[in-house]
Amino acid sequence: MQVYLRTLGCRLNEAELQTWSQQFIDTGYEISNKLDKADVMILNTCAVTGEAARKSRQILRRMHRENTSAKLVVTGCYASLDESEAAEILGVDLVIPNSKKDHLVELINEQFRLDGELLPTMPAFATEPGEAALFIRNRDRAFIKIQDGCRYKCSYCIVTKARGSEKSRTISHIVKEINGLSVSGVNEVVLTGVHVGGYGSDLGVTLKDLIEAILLDSDIKRVRFASVEPWDLPEGFFNLFDNKRLMPHMHLPLQSGSNTVLRRMSRRCNQQSFLSIMQQARKYVSGFNATTDIIVGFPGETDYEWQESLEFIQRIGFGHVHIFSYSHREGTRAAKLEQQLSSAVKKQRSKELTVIAKTMKSAALQKMIGQKVEVLWESGVKQVSQGRFNYSGYTPNYHRVNVELAGDATRQILPVTLQQLSSDESMLVGDVELSIQSRLTPLNSSKTAPLISVKQL
């Protein structure tokens, strides 16, 4: 039996797919990347915006058209907010809301057995010792779900309604999962959740306690965070980065650089508190890189507030900015606010911020030139000439690097000297010493993603 898994939206959705992949394998399924070969198709949906919900519906219909004989299962935030609507989409056989997705594999087995189609209840084949579903899905780092839900209610956010109250996994379970991934060859994990900084609020522990346990009780080589709300970081948090296995990068969503807009968003930070966090980070963590999210065109955002926001964003100097035009979302308090801005205004402001964000990113990359850093090289190798291949990966502080190699470096951490910026100034270009390259084995395409020649790009 073959299962096809697909997700939309956040890193948490990706982490859930990774977990289900392993559970399906343990139950006796095979994970397939070919939709038309699948017996069961699963879409982990998103509903953070109305557009995300529309895209979820569109993909479900497309999946059914491309494989009408497979069972189609929908889960995730769209399936939770509009369960009855999701169930009515042509081809959908089963809807599993977020409240039940921890039991997704067993629910699928139970439901389809009732339909008269016995699915595997024990392994039908043996995987390689230590083989992780992560590698079967051809990923280069593992996303670890540490918690779900959020106790805060930002005025624009529908996710708290879709995901429910906070629920954390125990430290022991998380460390055990990370150790299992490490044994199977994973070098980097990313800790993710809806409210990562609120980890442990229901268990009497903190995110700091979890990080200390991971660094003490596992030998995973690199640990990263997904998005962490800036107000959740306690005094002394950045001292954790003294351990170089904790990567010097955090995604800290600001959303706006205007205090009045932040109040309308019901955010729990302001300019001064965010600036204080950044000053601490850059004082204690060498080369610290902060990336962020900014919502453009929030209801009532005046020209003055917009300029105030732009000035503060530039003052911080982010390494990368994810830009989102505000999207009207029924069910949120922001949807009821007056002075909804026009698409033309939001488009123009997005263009302005894009120019500023590109300049900040280029400046951050320029500071890296000449440094020698450790990079985790990824799959998805591009062939550039006979026997030579283009690899990409990320520096510890999460700047993308390209390098040309003649051997197999997939999922290895190798030192690279950063030489220059790419022609579009979006990433770094580096060089790996010949003595290191000479130790690499010839590229074995069966171990990596299919090769892509330059002519195909």
Dist CA 423 CA 331 (whole Å): 44
In a domain, 233, yes or no: yes
Out of 338, 365, 392, a domain closes at 365
Q: 3-state secondary structure string, the chain? A: CEEEEEECCCHHHHHHHHHHHHHHHHHCCEEECCHHHCCEEEEEECCCCHHHHHHHHHHHHHHHHHCCCCEEEEEEHHHHHCHHHHHHCCCEEEEECHHHHHHHHHHHHHHHHHCCCCCCCCCCCCCCCCCCHHHHCCCCCEEEECEECCCCCCCCCCHHHHHCCCEECCHHHHHHHHHHHHHCCCCEEEEECCCHHHCCCCCCCCHHHHHHHHHHHCCCCEEEECECCHHHCCCCHHHHHHCCCECCEEECCCECCCHHHHHHCCCCCCHHHHHHHHHHHHHHCCCCEEEEEEEECCCCCCHHHHHHHHHHHHHHCCCEEEEEECCCCCCCCHHHCCCCCCHHHHHHHHHHHHHHHHHHHHHHHHCCCCCEEEEEECCCCEEEECCEEEEEEECCCCCEEEEEECCCCCCCEEEEEEEEECCCCCCEEEECCHHHHCCCCCCCCCCCCCCEEHHHC
How many domains does one find in the chain? Answer: 3
Residues 213 and 68 in one domain: no
Q: What is the pLDDT of residue 202?
A: 93
In a domain, 126, yes or no: no
Residues 307 and 419 in one domain: no
Residues 254 and 312 in one domain: yes
- pLDDT, one tens digit per residue, over 390-447 is 999 999 999 999 999 888 888 899 999 999 999 989 999 999 988 888 888 877 544 4
Q: What is the pLDDT of residue 321?
A: 95
Out of 365, 396, 415, a domain closes at 365
Which CATH number characterizes residue 19's domain?
Answer: 3.40.50.12160
In a domain, 134, yes or no: no
Burial group, residue 283, by CB count within 10 angstroms (0-12, 13-18, 19+): exposed
pLDDT at 455 over 80: no
Residues 326 and 208 in one domain: yes
In a domain, 130, yes or no: no
Q: What is the pLDDT of residue 136?
A: 59
Residues 357 and 379 in one domain: no
Residues 294 and 420 in one domain: no
In a domain, 275, yes or no: yes
Which CATH number characterizes residue 177's domain?
Answer: 3.80.30.20
Residues 301 and 228 in one domain: yes
Nearest partner of 302 among 235, 349, 354, 335, judged by Cα: 349
Please provide the average confidence, as pLDDT, over all residues in the chain: 88
Residue 445 contacts residue 451 (beta carbons within 8 Å) = yes
Out of 365, 383, 399, a domain closes at 365
Residue 384 half-sphere exposure, CB side, CA atoms within 13 Å?
A: 12
Residues 185 and 275 in one domain: yes
Find the mean pLDDT for residues 48-60. 88
Residues 179 and 325 in one domain: yes
In a domain, 181, yes or no: yes
Residues 321 and 409 in one domain: no
Q: What is the pLDDT of residue 184?
A: 86
Residues 295 and 219 in one domain: yes
Q: What is the pLDDT of residue 254?
A: 96
In a domain, 132, yes or no: no
Residues 280 and 197 in one domain: yes
- pLDDT, one tens digit per residue, over 169-202 is 999 999 999 999 998 889 999 999 999 999 999 9
**Higher model confidence: residue 31 or residue 243?**
243
Dist CA 133 CA 433 (whole Å): 33
In a domain, 125, yes or no: no
Task: Assign 450 a pLDDT band (cuts: 50, 70, 90).
Answer: very low
- pLDDT, one tens digit per residue, over 105-151 is 989 988 887 665 655 544 444 444 455 666 556 567 899 999 999 88
Q: What is the pLDDT of residue 210?
A: 97
- pLDDT, one tens digit per residue, over 201-241 is 999 999 999 999 999 999 999 999 989 998 888 888 999 99
Structural domain boundaries enclosing 423: 372-456
Residue 142 contacts residue 181 (beta carbons within 8 Å) = yes
- pLDDT, one tens digit per residue, over 238-290 is 999 999 999 999 999 999 999 999 999 999 999 999 999 999 999 999 999 99
Find the mean pLDDT for residues 69-74. 92
